[in-house]
Amino acid sequence: MKHYTHPLDMEEAFDDMPDAEFRYLLAGHRIKIMPVRVDILRVLSREKHPLSVVSIIEKIAKSHNGISPYNEATIYRSLEGLTKAKLVNRILIDPDRSYYEIAFGRKHHHHVVCTSCGEIEDVTGCISHDLHDMARSSGLKKFRHIESHSLEFFGICLPCNKEKNI
């Protein structure tokens, strides 16, 4: 059997990560290994960028003869559980719907979102250390522990920009 780097030590590209790895991760996080969870982790791990819930369902459907075997409620509950287990992250980029991305194996990063078409691109090299220092040092009387941060950029992507200048 081929040996796979443990996901938590990897960088990018999970294209061929076998389901066994996801089961391993789920077990490690003390969550029951349910098919829907494995499917979600597989779908998200193959994406470079955050996916909306609808997209997640579509991708799952594609790998199951075009029909998702799971109820939507199940998907939502699963995403909630995976988020609590910190295996996926819920991303705050759109006030109208939720986006999720895999939470392990990738460099710390953030996103740029096109305010015109919604295209999402990664921003790597986050200065998160500086950010946390900043958060801790600037008039924060009531907070000592910062658990996480969200850093999102918004702009117009080149294709959309060109379209407008026609």
Partner DNA sequence: TACAACTTGCAAGTGACTTGCACTTGGGGG
Partner DNA sequence: CCCCCAAGTGCAAGTCACTTGCAAGTTGTA
Which among 4-12, 16-24, 57-65, 120-128 is the span making contact with a copy of itself, rule CB under 8 A?
120-128
What would the DSSP string read from start to end of 56-82?
HHHHHHHTTTTS-SS-HHHHHHHHHHH
Q: Which listed residue (54, 117, 127, 135) binds DNA by CB under 7 A? A: 54
Residue pair 146/135 in contact by the 8 Å Cβ criterion: yes
Q: Which residue has the tokens 């791990």?
A: 45
- Token pair belonging to 81: 């559980």
Residue pair 101/51 in contact by the 8 Å Cβ criterion: yes
| Strands (E) located in 39-119 | 51-52, 88-91, 99-102, 109-114
Judged by CB under 7 A, the chain residues 87 through 146 that form the site for DNA are 95-98
DSSP run (H or E) holding 59: helix 53-62
Q: Is 36 in the site for DNA (CB under 7 A)?
A: yes
CB of residue 93 to a copy of itself, shortest distance in Å = 7
DSSP run (H or E) holding 122: strand 120-124
Q: Which listed residue (48, 64, 77, 108) binds DNA by CB under 7 A? A: 77
Which among 33-41, 114-122, 124-132, 139-147 is the span making contact with DNA, rule CB under 7 A?
33-41
Q: Is 126 in the site for a copy of itself (CB under 8 A)?
A: yes
Q: Which residue has the tokens 């369902």?
A: 57
Q: Is 154 in the site for a copy of itself (CB under 8 A)?
A: yes
Give contact residues for a copy of itself (rule: CB under 8 A): 90, 92-93, 95, 98, 112, 114-115, 119, 121-127, 130-132, 134-135, 137-159, 161
Contact footprint for DNA (CB under 7 A): 26-27, 31-37, 52-54, 69-74, 76-78, 80-81, 95-98
